[in-house]
Amino acid sequence: MIDLGAKKCVPCKMMAPIMEKMERVYKGKAAIVFIDVWENPKQAKRFKIRGIPTQIFFNEKREEVDRHLGFMGEAAIITQLKKMGVSLPKTKDGKES
């Protein structure tokens, strides 16, 4: 998953702690990446960004499978990852974290 936004954009700032948590939770299961398109404008063109934040989900073949424009909450990100077959890691008691 790539989140394309900017560190100074209000909805992007709201997503920052969610993205940090998703990166920790899914470490080793899914790549969660943030790209600041104001600092890296070539990436905005590369991914054809029309507005920020934009989240793009890729499968294991690096093919785009879903795209979302605007703030995306934790539950929606988890739901999309589950649709793609990426489940939450299990806790010590065997439940999803």
CB 6, CB 36: distance < 8 Å: yes
- Active site members: 9, 12
Q: How far is CA 76 from CA 18, 39, 45, 70, in A?
A: 11, 27, 25, 12
Q: Running DSSP on this structure, what letter comes out for residue 52?
A: S
The residue to which tokens 């703030």 are assigned:
71
